[in-house]
Amino acid sequence: MSEKLQKVLARAGLGSRREMEAVIAEGRVSVNGEIVTLGSRVEETDKIRLDGNPVNVIKAEDAVCRILAYHKPEGELCTRKDPEGRKTVFDRLPPLKSGRWIAIGRLDINTSGLLLFTTDGELANRLMHPSHEVEREYSCRIFGEVTPKIIQNLRMGVELEDGPAKFQKIKGVAAGTGGEGLNQWYNVLLSEGRNREVRRLWESQGIQVSRLIRIRYGSLVLDRRLPRGGWSELALEEINYLRTLVSLPLETTARSLERKETRIRQGRIRRSLKNNDARQKPTRSGRLGKEIEETNEPRGKGRTKPTGSGIPIHKGRKGPTKLRSPKAKKRTRI
């Protein structure tokens, strides 16, 4: 049975269908040694090449949709390669035997929080399309005085360079007031992912955003136990939740995940990041060593849970208690 060429390329993890259509139109794809045009269909036995490199064709029934939840730190770019050699969000992701990870949307270099990756190009394309209106919730620390008039403007809508925009919801983090002083925390809700939209909305009212964290995508909430720079793979239930949002058929199988294995992996990621920071940051004495990382996120009573139904990325129990080393000396009571 033949399939559209762009669909086969997207399933191989080379990009979304729209991206593959552009690649085909540029004459970069050949089938059985001949350059093809947009609209071509291929069979399972056809040999496909992209830029002269063979494409590993994956059958529709064999394709397993995988999705990663990544805790993006500030300072990383949402691009595969940076000419200036800066860190990218793809640097720490696990390698794939075939295909590639596709980012579902973007976060700018100064924004941290939840970022999703998938091997399914069609899923990524649909989730990013504004017609599906997938909710995105952000926690933002703003600098400046926020008046009721500003809140009303942002809820009713303002005109930006690329068209009108508004927050669907705005909620102050501390007792509904957003905190005290000029530095205040607000949770805001959007149903689209335009470039720097949260920052530009606040800036339209003369307010500066000094910290921005994405805390929710749809009903998937950022797991606070996941360290910055760490990733966690979603289970079948969570994968099918995202596929339902964009009217894609449900998956019947997913990569087998064990909670124990997930906890061990998170521990390794956390230790690896801590050791890397210790090598990079000098201590007060000038030597390289460990340094406690400070965070400006709201704490205690000032922190509120994200709104929405919330499908947690992890529900796991607390890790196993540490066993005392057999070499440990016993204390003698006097």
List the beta bridge partners of residue 216: 137, 221
The one catalytic residue among 51, 82, 91, 108: 108
Distance CA 42, CA 57 (A): 11
- In the structure encoding, which two tokens stand for residue 35, read together? 């350059």
For this structure, is 108 an active site residue? yes
Q: Tell me the C-alpha distance between 6 and 22, whole Å.
A: 9
Instruction: Read off the DSSP letter of residue 314.
Output: -
* Residue 9 structure tokens: 């390329």
> Counting every residue, how long is the chain?
334
**Which tokens belong to 131?**
């017609």
Within 8 A by CB and 6+ apart from 306, the residues are 137, 187, 215, 216, 221, 222
CA 62 to mean position of chain CA atoms? 25
CB atoms within 10 A of CB 86: 13
33 Cβ partners below 8 Å, 6+ apart? Answer: 47
As annotated, the active-site residues are 108
